[in-house]
Amino acid sequence: MDYRITLLGEKDHGKSTLLGNLLIKTGSIKRSRINSILPSSIGGKRFEPGYLLDSFKEERDRGMTIDQTSAEIIYKNNLLHMTDVPGHLELLKNMLTGASNASLGIFVVSAKMGEGFTNQSKRHLYLSNLMGIGAMLVAVNKMDMADFKEKAFIDIKKSITDYCSAAGIKSRLVFVPISAYNMENVIERAKNMQWYDGKPLMHTLLEMLEHINPGIVEQNGMRILIQDKIDDAFFGQVLYGKIKNGSDIILHPGGKKVRLFNLKKFNKVIGSSKAPSNIYFKLNPDANASRGDILYGIGEHPSAEIVFNAKIFPIKNISAYELSKSKVSFNGNYSNVAMRITGIFDITKAAKVPKRKNAAITPNYAINMAVKLAKKCPTEHFNAYPILGRFGMYSKSGILLGVGIVE
C-alpha cells in the first residue's frame, strides 16, 4: 500500500527526530548520509536524527525545520511518503502546503512537562481537518521525559479529544505513546510502557500506519492526477478508484478519450492498480497530456472547472475589500490558474461568530466566496473528492494568501 503522510505538531515536539530515526531503523537511508550529519550534532555529543531532514545550514544553526521535507519509508510491503512540516507559527503556510497533499497524518505532541497540547498544536489539528485529512495517528512523544507515566499519556489524550469534540473535528484519531529519540513503541513495543495495551496488530506506530484506514472515501469513479512527464511516460497518483492496463479513459481538461498502457509500479509491469497508489504509465502519442491534468473513467467528468464556490482560510491579515480587488491565482492539483473573486458571501470565525466584511480578516477566520478561473482547470467538490477539492490562493507576486476548499 502507498500512503501519503504528513507529520504535524508544534516545534520541538519531535517530528524531525521521529522521521529521522524511522529512516535509519528501517534502512531507508544510506549510511553515508547518516555519517554526513555527525559533525552537526549538538556539541558533538548527542546524535540528532532530525538533522537528516534539515537540509539547510540555517536550519541546523537555528535548530528548527524551516521548510517541508519529504522522505520515503519502506516498511514491509508498504511505501510511506512522509512529509515533515514546520511547527512554528510564522511558517504555518508550509504546514498547510504539506497537509494539502496528504490523506493520513501523524500528529506529534510532547508529553514533557511545560510542552503538551499547545495553541499551535490546536491550529495544526484544526486546519488539517479542514484540509481533508480523514485519519490522524496521534503520537504522544517524549514519554521518556515524562517518566513513562500512564497519567501523562491519558492527560494529553483527554485534552486532544475534548478539544476535537468542542471544535467539531471529525478526523479519526488513534493514540500511541512513544519516545521518538529512543524508538520506543515506534517499530518495536516499549519495555517501559507495559501499561499501554494497544490492539494486537496496532500497538506500535508503524503497526498502526500499516493497518489504519487512511480515511480515503470509496467513490464510484476513478481519478488519476498526473504529477510529471519524462520523455513519453507519465508519473501519477491513483487517488480514487482502480485503473487497468490498456483502459480507455478521459483526459481533462478537454475531455479527450485516450488509452493508458504500459502500467508499472516499482518498475514492474502490472495489470491494475487501485487507490491510493503511485504509478508509471504511457498514453497514446496524441494525448497531449501534462502535469496537473486528471484522468477519469469513461463517462466521468470534473464537478468543477471554471466557476464554483469556495471556502478560504487566510494565512495573513487582509481586508475583504483588498481581497476582492486583488489579482490572485488558484494553485491546486499541480495547476496554477488566474482566479477572480466574484462575490463574498460571509466571513466567519471557527466559533461561528460573524465578522464585519470591511474589517481585517485574520488566519482565525474563514471566507465563503464565489470564484471564476481564467481557464478550465479540472477539480472536484471537496465533500465528494477531498484530495482534488483543496487549493492554495496566491497573490500576483507569489505570496500565499490562504488555502481553500471547493464547496
Tens digit of each residue's pLDDT (9 = 90 or more) over 183-241: 899 988 888 998 998 776 678 888 887 777 655 555 678 999 998 888 889 998 888 89
Q: Which residues of the chain have pLDDT under 50?
A: 55-68, 87-96, 98-99, 350-355
Residue ranges covered by each domain of the chain = 2-211, 223-296, 307-406
Angle, in degrees to the nearest 10, between helices 119-130 and 150-167? 50
Q: Which of 383, 33, 378 is nearest to 223 (CA)?
A: 378
pTM for the full model?
A: 0.62
Share of the chain above pLDDT 90, in %: 28
Q: Note the pLDDT of residue 310.
A: 92
Structure-block grid coordinates of residue 381: 467538490
Q: Which of 336, 260, 246, 330 is nearest to 295 (CA)?
A: 260
Q: Note the pLDDT of residue 61.
A: 41
Residue 175 amino acid letter: F
* CATH class in words for 223-296: mainly beta
Structure-block grid coordinates of residue 394: 496566491
Structure-block grid coordinates of residue 36: 554526513
Structure-block grid coordinates of residue 37: 550529519
Q: Note the pLDDT of residue 359.
A: 55
CATH: 3.20.20.80, 3.40.50.300, 3.40.50.620, 3.40.640.10. Which one for 2-211? 3.40.50.300
Q: Is 299 helix (H, G, I), strand (E, B) or coil?
A: coil
CATH: 3.90.1150.10, 3.30.565.10, 3.30.420.10, 2.40.30.10. Which one for 307-406? 2.40.30.10
Q: Note the pLDDT of residue 147.
A: 94
Q: Is 377 exposed, middle or buried (0-12, 13-18, 19+ CB in 10 A)?
A: buried
Structure-block grid coordinates of residue 368: 465563503
Q: Provide CB contacts within 8 A for 165, sequence distance 6+.
A: none
Give 315-368 pLDDT, tens digit per residue.
Answer: 767 766 667 777 899 988 888 899 999 988 876 654 343 445 555 665 566 788
Q: Provide CB contacts within 8 A for 16, sequence distance 6+.
A: 49, 50, 51, 52, 53, 54, 65, 69, 84
